[in-house]
Amino acid sequence: MAAALERYFADESIVEELRAMEDRLAATMVRTLTETARVGDDVQLVIAQVDQLIRFMFQVTPEIFDKEVAAIVGSRRYTGFLESFAKEFVGRKRRAVFAGHVDDVLAGEDGANASCAT
């Protein structure tokens, strides 16, 4: 009888441990879903801001009718944008992943410019 009671109480403690683990997992999942929803909201906000910026740029900048000139000017302005954009993330504790990609793009353009100059 003592062995049966001992086994019963041991099984009960395992059940309690499993319940506690299930509660912790549920809480973690709820926090993760909440944070994911917040990130999704932030992404939507960024998309809306970029949309407004693009609309503004199209309204205030004149259209360039010469396609070659447009390509040269656009490339120069875009490269300048990438350089200034990447510099914004250098001082932070964690650099954004896309800042590393910007570095790769700029390094690739430098290599292409160097090969064109030779």
pLDDT in tens, 66-92: 888 888 888 888 888 777 766 765 555
Asked if residue 90 and residue 78 are part of one domain, the reply reads yes
Range of the domain at 36: 1-61
Asked if residue 1 and residue 55 are part of one domain, the reply reads yes
116 — pLDDT class (breaks 50, 70, 90): very low
Decide which of 61, 81, 97 is a domain's last residue.
61
| Total domains in the fold of the chain | 2
Per-residue pLDDT for 30 more than 90?
A: yes
27 — pLDDT class (breaks 50, 70, 90): very high
Decide which of 41, 61, 81 is a domain's last residue.
61
Asked if residue 52 and residue 96 are part of one domain, the reply reads no
117 — pLDDT class (breaks 50, 70, 90): very low
Asked if residue 69 and residue 44 are part of one domain, the reply reads no
**What is d(CA 92, CA 51) in angstroms, rounded to the nearest whole number?**
26
pTM (2 d.p.): 0.42
Decide which of 26, 42, 61 is a domain's last residue.
61
**Percentage of residues of the chain with pLDDT beyond 70:** 74
- Report which of residues 29 and 71 the model is more confident about: 29
